[in-house]
Amino acid sequence: MILLVTNKRDLTTDYVVRELKYRDVPYVRLNTETLTEYKCSIGYSSIDDWSIGDIKGNLITSAYFRRPCPTKVSHPKLTEAELEYLNMEWLSFLKSIYCRLDKKWFSSPTNIALAEDKPRQLAIASTLGFQVPQGIITNDVFAVMERTMNENLIAKPLRQALLKGKNESVIFTSQIPTLTPEYEESISFAPSIYQQEISKKYDVRVTVVGNNVFPVAIWSQTSEATKVDWRQGGQIDLVHEHIEIPDDLKMKCIKLVKELNLKFGAIDLICDLDGVYWFLEINPNGQWAWIENQTKLPIASSIVDELLKISEFSNES
């Protein structure tokens, strides 16, 4: 049986569910925000000695870690401190289950978390031979001036791109002016990624599933709002087109995902005006349903193929 770890509102998992139903493959979907509704146990007799409601550890042959949400206890008689304690206990319980699934994961939560390290991504991509924009991760304005041409620069977050609060907002990749010592204080607040901006023909999203590569051009330069960061034009219907990329670039994408100990990766590239492809970053657990919806590429089918391979190996072990 295949385990899908996610939340009730995750539409991407719906695509996997549809494919599993089409193939008549047994599965169970665990929406982690509802965990408190179930009787849950972990025993000591074996690594598979655990249960969440009707989900039994010994029946799980492979698992897909998608978008779990925090489990939240709610009770009018409990204090805020007590609720926080209980929520952390649930998180610890879940983490223990995740560890017990070990080699049954499509991509494990641990490897996904490690792969989100953008400086590490850039270093590995450079080692594998990707073209990587000149730049540096720093809070030192003089380092930016020294390690770049200090013109036509972009800045983007190292990790957290969401400004929380009453009016939530997202920090997108942005163009910044030529830097001078006067910017020292503002740059010093926190490290960010500073790179030379690449003049784009279009953006490329490469979805890698095992040894399958699904490259899609995102025609971001047709709108002023999406020229720097195509995600910024949320209301604009950008054209997505399945394209072919060079075989050596496909192999680099596959190697990058494997180097990060993953079976899935959503890689963002740029195709410049001369047709050269540049590596930006990889999202180790990125969204892909909208890509399949717009291009009809069989991403969900490929993910199910990988889950079935893992299940076959688990049954043989």
- Which tens digits make up the pLDDT trace of 38-65? 999 999 999 999 999 999 999 999 999 9
The pLDDT value given to residue 227: 86
Amino acid identity of residue 110, one-letter, is: T
Whether residue 228 has pLDDT greater than 90: no
Mean pLDDT, range 179-198, rounded to an integer: 94
pLDDT of 233 reads: 67
Contact 297, 291 (CB under 8 A): yes
Q: How do residues 144-172 score in pLDDT, each as one tens digit?
A: 999 998 889 999 999 877 787 777 788 88
> Residue 270 and residue 155: Cα distance in Å, rounded?
16
Angle at 283 between CA 99 and CA 168, to 5 degrees: 100
In angstroms, what CA-CA distances link 197 with 271, 302, 303? 12, 34, 34
Residue 7 CA, chain-centre distance (Å), reads 16
**Rounded distance, CA 315 to CA 28, Å?**
17
- With beta carbons less than 8 A apart as the criterion, state whether 74 and 33 touch: no
Helices (H), the chain: 11-23, 80-101, 109-115, 118-128, 141-147, 184-188, 247-259, 289-295, 299-316
Give yes or no for a contact between 314 and 36, defined as CB atoms under 8 angstroms apart.
Answer: no
Report pLDDT digits (tens) over 95-111. 999 999 999 999 999 99
The mean pLDDT of 257-264, rounded to a whole number, is: 98
Return the structure tokens found at 90: 């649930």
Q: Cα–Cα distance between 37 and 26 in angstroms, integer?
A: 22
**pTM over 0.85, yes/no:** yes
Q: Mind listing the domains of the chain with CATH numbers? A: 2-107 (no CATH), 134-196 (no CATH), 198-306 (3.30.470.20)
Find, among 102, 62, 25, the residue nearest to 313 by Cα: 62
